[in-house]
């Protein structure tokens, strides 16, 4: 089966600009996650969707970050306006089952964002 | 709150030697434990997981991990390392009734020829 797809793979913007990332999950996967991975650190959860509903967005900086998952399939993550500290790799991960299952998360290749 | 510690930032081994990457965790209740590997400019790839049952879990690419409840550890092992195993390895934990996966900071493994 095809893996998690993300685009773009790389993005360079100037601070205060806006940017959007796209994620297409593995077919049939109900749960979708967005992570932020800063260089030298492990991934940090930003937001979790189950189908098209938000399960957890407690770590999402809502003054500048937003995410949606229309129709419970593809998802977009937006940053507006970007700050220098937003430079990171943004990872999308998906899982077949719901929130507390033992199923495995599968990750996309990530989008590397550089804010100048 | 759940957390993972990977005490070694870097592990260096010679090809053909055993490889061990250490992980300890803290979680309420029974843990679900995972190992992922990340190659440069790639996403995380799943290696193996412990849910329940046998404490020794076998995964992809010849890796295995041993769950030790008394020591709250889940160390990743490979009997004979390959140069191609050089990568960044992440340990992660979830609680039984939780949905959030918490990652360690990662361990960079370098296998020299």
Rg (CA), chain B: 13
- Cβ of A91 and B43 within 8 Å? yes
Whether B36 and chain A come into contact, CB under 8 Å, resolves to yes
Nearest Cα neighbor of B39 from A105, A101, A107 is: A107
Query: Which residues have CB under 8 Å from B54's CB, separation 6+?
Result: none
Cβ atoms of A28 and A96 within 8 Å: the answer is yes
List the single residue in B with minimal CA-CA distance to A10. B41
**Nearest residue to B32 (alpha-carbon basis) of B7, B2, B62, B59:** B2
Mean pLDDT of A11-25: 97
Q: How many CB atoms lie within 10 A of CB B34?
A: 26
Chain A residues touching residue B33 (CB < 8 angstroms): none
What would the mean pLDDT of B66-80 be, rounded to a whole number?
96
A33-82 residue pLDDT tens: 999 999 888 999 999 998 889 988 999 999 999 999 988 899 999 999 99
pLDDT tens profile B33-65: 999 999 987 889 999 999 888 899 999 999 999
* Lookup result for tokens 């295995």: B64
User: Which chain B residues contact residue A25 at CB under 8 A?
Assistant: none
Q: B23: distance to nearest CA of chain A, Å?
A: 13
Whole-angstrom Cα distance, residue A85 to residue A94? 25
Sign of CA dihedral A70, A72, A74, A76: positive
Contact A54, A47 (CB under 8 A): yes
Per-residue pLDDT at B53: 84
Q: Which residue has tokens 């989008």?
A: A111
Contact A105 B46 (CB under 8 A): yes
Task: Output the CA torsion sign for A26, A99, B62, A91.
Answer: positive
For residue B87, the cross-strand partners are B109
Which chain A residues touch B if contact means CB-CB below 8 Å?
A: 4, 6, 33, 40-45, 48, 55-56, 91, 93, 99-100, 102, 104-110, 112
pLDDT confidence of residue A1: 60
Cβ contacts of A24 on chain B, cutoff 8 Å: none
Question: Rounded distance, CA B63 to CA B58, Å?
Answer: 6
Instruction: Sort out which chain A residues have CB atoms less than 8 A from B104's CB and list them.
Output: 42
In percent, how much of chain B has pLDDT > 90? 78
Q: How far is B112 from B11, CA to CA, in rounded Å?
A: 11
User: Cis omega (within 30 of 0) on the bond before A81?
Assistant: yes
CA distance B61 to B20: 14
Evaluate if residue A102 carries a pLDDT over 80.
no
Cβ of residue B98 closer than 8 Å to a chain A Cβ? yes
d(CA B76, CA B103) in angstroms, rounded, equals 15
Cis peptide before A97 (omega within 30 of 0): no
């Amino acid at each position: 089966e095809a893996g998690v797809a993300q685009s773009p793979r790389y993005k360079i913007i100037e601070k205060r600009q806006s940017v959007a990332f796209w994620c297409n999950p593995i077919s049939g996967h109900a749960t979708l996650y967005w992570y932020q991975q800063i260089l030298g650190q492990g991934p940090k959860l930003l937001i979790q969707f189950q189908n098209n509903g938000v399960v957890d967005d407690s770590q999402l900086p809502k003054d500048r970050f937003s995410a949606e998952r229309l129709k419970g399939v593809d998802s977009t993550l937006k940053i507006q306006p970007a700050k220098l500290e937003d430079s990171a790799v943004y990872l999308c991960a998906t899982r077949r089952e719901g929130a507390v299952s033992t199923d495995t998360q599968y990750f996309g290749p990530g989008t590397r964002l550089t804010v100048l | 709150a759940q957390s993972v510690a990977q005490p070694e930032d870097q592990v260096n081994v010679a090809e053909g030697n055993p490889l061990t990457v250490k992980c300890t965790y803290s979680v309420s209740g029974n843990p679900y434990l995972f190992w992922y590997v990340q190659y440069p400019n790639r996403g995380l790839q799943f290696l193996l997981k412990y849910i329940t049952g046998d404490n020794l879990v076998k995964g992809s690419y010849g890796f295995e991990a041993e769950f030790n409840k008394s020591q709250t550890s889940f160390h990743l092992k490979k009997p004979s390392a390959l140069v191609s195993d050089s990568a960044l390895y992440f340990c992660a934990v979830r609680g039984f009734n939780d949905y959030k996966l918490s990652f360690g900071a990662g361990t960079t493994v370098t296998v020299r020829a």
